[in-house]
């Protein structure tokens, strides 16, 4: 059963691009004094940085905002070989929640290390049965416990189970999840062969972010998030 009124929601993202995709989808406004904070009525989006390096920002919001629902939203890597770029996975605590069109209900694995190869993804898929993997939830475990509210996990696939992930790509964003263009240029100069992968990563991430935004709008329209 849907809640009678949209709950107070705290949405956490890692990359700046994820934060903007979610904020734009929900028509939120940036809080002038905040760092990666966007708000509209009873929903707040907070950027916690790559691997939740700035989880303290979100933790500081809890006492005043008192969310009734936590949402982790962003990009993820596929473990299930049937998933394609832009597919959206929802790991929901609500068994009867209506899943938006184009999304799929499945479990998302909380990793502490990057899964860089198809073989590593295959092994994790076989051992866990999870459809996708991300690297923020484990670092956010203390915050999630402190909130004491349901956790809704929404992730769009930006690399498939067959894709390798270059670990150097993680160094191309700072801890706030913002791109470091000078470092990307340096990587291309050192390794020209990295350019095709970076272009593919940009293309695939753009599609995934677009689908993420669409799913967040559907969740708002269905009453699970403030519209």
Q: What percent of the chain has pLDDT over 90?
A: 53
Candidate ranges 46-50, 98-102, 129-133, 172-176; pick with highest mean pLDDT: 129-133
DSSP string of the chain, one letter each residue? ---SSPPPEEEEESSHHHHHHHHHHTT-EE-TTSSSEEEETTEEEEE--GGGTTHHHHHHHHHHH--SEEEEEEEEEE-STT--TT-EEEE-S-TTPPPPTTEEE--EEE-SS---SHHHHHHHHHHH--SEEESSTTTTHHHHHHHTS-EEEEEEEEE-TT----GGGGGGB-TTS-B-HHHHHHHHHH-TTHHHHHHHHHHHHHHHHHHHHHHHHHHHHTTSS--
pLDDT tens-digit profile of 147-179?
999 999 999 999 999 998 777 666 666 667 676
Provide the whole-model pTM.
0.87
Decide if pLDDT at 180 tops 90.
Answer: no
Task: Please compute the mean of the pLDDT values over residues 36-56 and round it to a whole number.
Answer: 88
* 119 confidence band (pLDDT: 50, 70, 90): very high
Decide if pLDDT at 182 tops 90.
Answer: no
* 2 confidence band (pLDDT: 50, 70, 90): very low
How many Å apart are CA 215 and CA 205, to the nearest integer?
A: 15
Task: Please compute the mean of the pLDDT values over residues 175-184 and round it to a whole number.
Answer: 67
Q: What percent of the chain has pLDDT over 70?
A: 84
Decide if pLDDT at 95 tops 60.
Answer: yes
Locate 95 and state its tokens.
């068994």
* 36 confidence band (pLDDT: 50, 70, 90): confident
């Amino acid at each position: 059963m849907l809640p009678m009124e949209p709950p107070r929601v705290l949405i956490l993202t890692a990359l700046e691009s994820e934060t903007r995709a979610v904020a734009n989808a929900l028509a939120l406004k940036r809080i002038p004094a905040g760092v990666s904070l966007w708000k509209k009525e009873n929903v707040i989006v907070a950027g916690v940085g790559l691997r939740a390096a700035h989880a303290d920002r979100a933790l500081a919001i809890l006492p005043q905002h008192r969310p009734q629902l936590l949402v982790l939203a962003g990009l993820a890597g596929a473990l299930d070989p049937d998933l394609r770029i832009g597919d959206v996975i929802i790991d929901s605590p609500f068994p009867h929640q209506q899943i938006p069109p184009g999304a799929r209900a499945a479990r998302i694995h909380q990793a502490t290390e990057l899964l860089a190869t198809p073989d590593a993804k295959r092994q994790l898929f076989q051992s866990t049965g999870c459809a996708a993997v991300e690297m923020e939830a484990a670092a956010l475990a203390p915050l999630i416990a402190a909130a004491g509210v349901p956790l809704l996990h929404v992730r769009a696939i930006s690399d498939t189970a067959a894709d390798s992930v270059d670990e150097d790509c993680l160094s191309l964003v700072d801890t706030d999840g913002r791109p470091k263009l000078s470092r990307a240029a340096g990587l291309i100069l050192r390794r020209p062969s990295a350019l095709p992968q970076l272009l593919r990563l940009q293309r695939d991430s753009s599609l995934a972010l677009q689908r993420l935004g669409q799913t967040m709008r559907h969740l708002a329209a269905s009453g699970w998030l403030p519209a």
